[in-house]
Amino acid sequence: MSSATIIDGKAFAAKLRHRVAAGVASFVAITQRKPGLAVVLVGDDPASQVYVGSKKKATVEAGMNSFEHRLPATVSQEELIALVETLNADDAVDGILVQLPLPAHIDDKAVIAAIDPAKDVDGFHVVNAGRLAVGEDAFVPCTPLGCLMLLKEYVGDLSGKNAVVIGRSNIVGKPMAQLLLAENCTVTIAHSRTQDLPDVVRRADIVVAAVGRAEMVTADWLKPGAVVIDVGINRLPPQAGETKGRLVGDVAFDDALAHAGAITPVPGGVGPMTIACLLRNNLVAAHRRAGLEVPQGI
Establish whether 55 is a catalytic residue: yes
Is 178 a binder of ligand NAD (CB under 6 A)? no
- Per CB under 6 A, the segment of 33-41, 120-128, 153-161, 211-219 that binds ligand NAD is 211-219
Is 197 a binder of ligand NAD (CB under 6 A)? yes
Q: Which residue, 211 or 262, is less far from ligand NAD as judged by CB?
A: 211
- Per CB under 6 A, the segment of 54-62, 124-132, 162-170, 282-290 that binds ligand NAD is 162-170
**CA–CA dist 69, 39 (Å, integer):** 6
Q: Which of 19, 119, 125, 168 binds ligand NAD (CB under 6 A)?
A: 168
Q: Give the burial class of 193: count Cβ atoms within 10 A of its Cβ; 0-12 exposed, 13-18 middle, 19 or more buried.
A: exposed
Chain-centroid distance, C-alpha 164: 18
Q: Which residue, 89 or 193, is less far from ligand NAD as judged by CB?
A: 193
Establish whether 122 is a catalytic residue: yes
Of the candidates 134, 137, 135, 117, the one whose C-alpha atom is nearest the C-alpha of residue 125 is 117
What residues numbered 231-270 form the site for ligand NAD, per CB under 6 A? 231-234, 270
| Least gap, CB of 285 to ligand NAD (angstroms) | 20
Task: Read off φ and ψ for residue 243, nearest 5 degrees.
Answer: -85, -40
Q: How many Cβ atoms are within 10 Å of 2's Cβ, its own excluded?
A: 10
The full 3-state SS of 223-281, as one line of letters, equals CCCCEEEECCCEECCCCCCCCCCCEECCECHHHHCCCCCEECCCCCCHHHHHHHHHHHH
- Per CB under 6 A, the segment of 18-26, 106-114, 171-179, 180-188 that binds ligand NAD is 171-179
Q: Give the burial class of 24: count Cβ atoms within 10 A of its Cβ; 0-12 exposed, 13-18 middle, 19 or more buried.
A: buried
Task: Read off φ and ψ for residue 148, nearest 5 degrees.
Answer: -65, -40
Report how far apart, in Å, the C-alpha atoms of 298 and of each of 130, 154, 171, 180, 230 are. 22, 17, 21, 19, 23
Q: Which residue, 116 or 215, is less far from ligand NAD as judged by CB?
A: 215
Residues in the chain: 298
Is 210 a binder of ligand NAD (CB under 6 A)? yes
Q: Residues 131-150 vs ligand NAD: string with x where CB under 6 A?
A: ------------x-------
The answer for residues whose C-beta is within 8 angstroms of residue 74's C-beta and 6 or more apart is none
**CA–CA dist 149, 31 (Å, integer):** 29
Q: Which of 116, 122, 205, 230 is catalytic?
A: 122
| Least gap, CB of 17 to ligand NAD (angstroms) | 15
Q: Which of 37, 190, 262, 277 binds ligand NAD (CB under 6 A)?
A: 190
- Per CB under 6 A, the segment of 63-71, 75-83, 126-134, 185-193 that binds ligand NAD is 185-193
Residues forming the site for ligand NAD (CB under 6 A)? 143, 166-169, 171-173, 190-192, 194, 197, 210-213, 231-234, 270-271, 274
Give me the active site residues, please. 55, 99, 122
